[in-house]
């Protein structure tokens, strides 16, 4: 059992014992009724019997302030208003705290959404950069291939020019040899 349960059981035992003792005193007082006595007289006699026979005083005994039941209607009203005021203050505070928590949760949700959007934008930017890099790489490859093609074309042209010169020289040689 938890500490609170044990404490409650002990408190109940103590209260129950006191109530049983007071009930016995009340029975004795009600048996000793005099003519002209009313319920308040019986109650006072029961308190006197209880205080003389028992060790622990009751909270409802005259002269003992009760934490449970205040003496007098004004005091009772004040205490009731105080409890109501405390409850209202507690309710207002609770409502205020709930509103603040709700606002904080809304702010948290907005921030999370903003973070997710920023992260998404960063990812999109990374993807865009990667695509741009791939495009630039292909452009470089195409340019390299074009240069290679151009160099091959220039070599071919040079070879053709050389062959043309050779043919021309051969033709000249043949013409010269025929003329002779």
Is the pTM higher than 0.75?
no
Let me know: does 93 contact 101? Beta carbons within 8 Å: no
Assess whether 173 and 106 both reside in one domain.
yes
Quote the domain boundaries for residue 40.
1-69
Range among 32-36, 59-63, 171-175 rated most confident: 171-175
Considering the domain architecture, whether residues 130 and 172 belong to the same structural domain is answered as yes
- Give the residue, 57 or 26, on which the prediction is more confident: 26
* pLDDT at position 89 over 90: no
Shared-domain flag, residues 106 and 65: no
Average pLDDT, the chain: 81
Co-location of 112 and 64 in the same domain = no
| Average pLDDT of the residues in 108-123 | 94
Q: Is residue 121 part of a domain?
A: yes
The Cα-based distances of 118 to 7, 121, 122 in angstroms read 56, 5, 6
- 142 within some domain: yes
DSSP 119-176: HHHHHHHHHHHHHHHHHHHHHHHHHHHHHHHHHHHHHHHHHHHHHHHHHHHHHHHHHH
Q: Which of 13-27, 86-100, 108-122, 137-151 has the lowest mean pLDDT?
A: 86-100
Same domain, 106 and 180: yes
- Residue 159 maps to a domain: yes
Q: Verify that 106 and 53 share a domain, yes or no.
A: no
- pLDDT given at position 80: 54
148's tokens: 């290679």
Domain match, 62 and 106 both: no
Task: With respect to residue 81, please indicate whether it lies within any of the assigned structural domains.
Answer: no
| pLDDT exceeds cutoff 80 at 74 | no
Q: Flag whether 92 is in a domain.
A: no
Return the pLDDT at 13. Answer: 83
Q: Is residue 42 part of a domain?
A: yes
Q: Say whether pLDDT at 83 is over 70.
A: no
pLDDT in tens, 144-161: 999 999 999 999 999 999
Q: Which of 47, 69, 91 is the last residue of a domain?
A: 69
Q: Evaluate if residue 67 carries a pLDDT over 50.
A: no
Residues 58 and 113 both lie in one domain: no
Asked if 47 contacts 59 with a C-beta cutoff of 8 angstroms, the reply is: no
Instruction: Choose one of 52, 69, 86: the last residue of a domain.
Output: 69
Indicate whether 70 pLDDT > 60: no
Instruction: Give a yes or no: residue 86 inside a domain.
Output: no
pLDDT in tens, 136-146: 999 999 999 99
Total number of domains constituting the chain: 2
**Among 69, 91, 121, where does a domain finish?**
69
Looking at the structure, tell me whether residues 107 and 180 fall in a common domain.
yes
11 located within any domain: yes
């Amino acid at each position: 059992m938890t500490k609170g349960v044990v404490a409650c059981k002990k408190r109940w035992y103590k209260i129950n014992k006191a109530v049983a003792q007071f009930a016995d005193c009340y029975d004795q007082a009600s048996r000793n009724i005099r003519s002209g006595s009313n319920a308040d007289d019986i109650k006072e006699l029961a308190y006197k019997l209880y205080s003389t026979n028992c060790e622990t005083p009751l909270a409802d005994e005259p002269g003992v302030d009760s934490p449970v039941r205040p003496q007098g209607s004004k005091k009772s009203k004040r205490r009731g208003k105080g409890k109501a005021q405390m409850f209202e203050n507690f309710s207002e505070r609770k409502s205020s705290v709930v509103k603040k928590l709700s606002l904080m949760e809304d702010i948290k949700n907005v921030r999370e959404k903003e973070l997710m959007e920023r992260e998404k934008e960063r990812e999109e930017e990374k993807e865009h950069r990667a695509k741009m890099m791939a495009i630039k790489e292909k452009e470089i490859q195409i340019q390299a291939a074009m240069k290679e093609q151009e160099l091959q074309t220039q070599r071919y042209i040079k070879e053709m020019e050389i062959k043309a010169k050779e043919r021309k020289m051969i033709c000249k040689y043949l013409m010269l040899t025929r003329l002779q």
